[in-house]
Amino acid sequence: MGQPDFSFRVESVDPGCAARRSTFVTPHGAVEMPAFMPVGTLGAVKGVLVEHLLRSGTQMVLANTYHLALRPGDEVVAALGGLHRFMGWSGPILTDSGGFQLFSLAKMTRVSDHGAVFRSHIDGRLLEFTPERVVAIQEMLASDVAMVLDHVVPLPNDPHVVREATERTVRWAERSRKAARRNDQALFAIVQGGVDPALRQWCAKRLAEMDFPGYAIGGLSVGESPEEMYRTLEATVPAMPADRPRYLMGVGRPEDLLEAIARGIDLFDCVMPTRNGRNAMAFTDRGPLRLRNAQYERDISPLEEGCPCAACRHSRGYLRHLFQAGEMLGPMLLSLHNITYYHRLMREARQAIGAGRFEEFRRAKLEGWRSG
């Protein structure tokens, strides 16, 4: 990958599809892929202790540049020892550039080729993010993987708007590459292009020419249908370098993870496991359980037989009671269960790819979720 502290190796590709098992080595440890990153936007995965993250099977976590730059500030994080020490997390960390938040949370954003000027959603301060500034913030945070600033637009949208944002994303990526200074931080590019296959391929090829250590697909799961997302992946992934990690940003339904793995994606993040957990939804092999439903009031079963998480030591009835009573333990336990479930799904996917039976595994999981 061109950086001494990083390496990426594809160990096997499933014979029935593009699913691949791989290992991504970072300065803070190796990540076996396909892998899922829990989201710790502000330096914490909501309601989950670091030691519980480790027990759940978490290998790598995500934090957000936009949010941390606004509060407490990248200089504060650096003064406290960098993001790993700040969080108390010794494993790999990826920081998102904040491009999505810049255009979804910030007030009065104005975008030009120079960068984006916006008002903080916290206190209304006028701030500016340029590609160079975003790289500098992430270098202060000292994450293992940093993301370039990209121009995110909602879907559906005018084709001219999507093309303009995609071309700007490519120009910003080139500036980000030139601004990067740390050898112990890998900078990933982000492929944009809406659901236009030709535009996605053009963007991927232009970014590949810049020789980034890794590549992400952004701008999906923002309003398009699952079928449109899958078609976009089928068009985009073959244009991305095969010898670099491929990361699909912000996509988190279990079925979408398996469909994306089948199309060659290695890495994911999403708030869904923790956000849904805080709202009394638990993921299982028989589909999601909505524990506020009265049917679980006297249910003595665990969320899922054989699950090693702390939540599954209790009955569904007890977990439902925690939510009905407003006890904070309920959201904490279900968040932990969902994270554990996602990691188990990724581990089973890796095993299936290694055995050359991922398609069989995918069909069985999809049938289980639908039957529930």
Q: What is the dihedral of CA 296, 302, 303, 307, to 10 degrees?
A: 180
Task: With respect to residue 2, please indicate whether it lies within any of the assigned structural domains.
Answer: no
Domain boundary among 270, 287, 320: 270
Query: Of the candidates 348, 255, 352, 278, which has an alpha carbon nearest to the alpha carbon of residue 307?
Result: 348
Q: Is the pLDDT higher at 98 or at 270?
A: 270
Lowest mean pLDDT among 101-105, 184-188, 299-303, 337-341: 101-105
Please indicate, yes or no, whether residues 293 and 257 belong to a single structural domain of this protein: no
Domain containing residue 159: CATH number = 3.20.20.105
- Give pTM, 2 decimals: 0.97
Q: Is 358 a member of any domain?
A: yes
Confidence category of residue 105, pLDDT binned at 50, 70, 90: confident
Residues belonging to the active site: 96, 269
Residue corresponding to tokens 């990153």: 37
Do 210 and 244 reside in the same domain of the chain? Answer: yes
For the chain, what percent of residues have pLDDT higher than 90? 90
Give the residue from 245, 270, 295 where a domain finishes.
Answer: 270
Give me 120's structure tokens: 């903080």
pLDDT band at 100 (very low <50, low <70, confident <90, very high): confident
Is the pLDDT reported for residue 11 higher than 70?
A: yes
pLDDT bucket at 155, cuts 50 / 70 / 90: confident
Identify the pLDDT of residue 106: 63
Token pair belonging to 118: 């916006």
Domain region containing 141: 7-270
pLDDT tens-digit series, residues 34-80: 999 999 999 999 999 999 999 999 999 999 999 999 999 999 999 99
Q: Same domain for 238 and 353? A: no
299, 227: one domain:
no
Residue 158 lies in a domain: yes
pLDDT at 1 over 70: no
Average pLDDT in the 253-271 region? 98
CB 168 within 8 A of CB 151: yes
Same domain membership, residue 193 and residue 47: yes
Cβ atoms of 360 and 296 closer than 8 Å: no
Note whether residue 285 is domain-resident.
yes
Residues 200 and 328 in one domain: no
What pLDDT is stored for residue 2 in this prediction?
A: 64
* Overall average pLDDT of the 289-315 stretch: 98
Q: What is the mean pLDDT of residues 140-155?
A: 95
Rounded mean pLDDT, 142-159: 94
Number of domains in the chain: 2
Give domain status of residue 339, yes or no: yes
DSSP string, 197-216: HHHHHHHHHHHHHT--SEEE
- Looking at per-residue confidence, does 244 or 109 come out higher? 244
- Average pLDDT for 238-252: 97
Residues 22 and 83 in one domain: yes
Which residues touch 225 (CB under 8 Å, ≥6 apart)? Answer: none
Q: What is the pLDDT of residue 208?
A: 98
Do residue 335 and residue 364 come from a single domain? yes
- 247 has pLDDT over 90: yes
- Tell me, yes or no, whether 224 and 310 share the same domain: no
What's the rounded Cα separation, in Å, for the pair 221 and 22? 25
Q: Does residue 153 share a domain with residue 48?
A: yes
Q: For residue 314, is it within any domain?
A: yes
Question: CA triplet 147, 184, 1: central angle to 5 degrees?
Answer: 75
**Average of per-residue pLDDT values in the chain:** 96
Within this chain, do residues 144 and 60 fall inside the same structural domain, yes or no? yes
- DSSP state at residue 184: T
| pLDDT given for residue 223 in this prediction | 82
* Long-range pairs, 312-315, Cβ under 8 A, ≥24: 312/337
Residues 99 and 55 in one domain: yes
Domain boundary among 270, 301, 316: 270
Residue 65 lies in a domain: yes
Q: Domain for residue 1, yes or no?
A: no
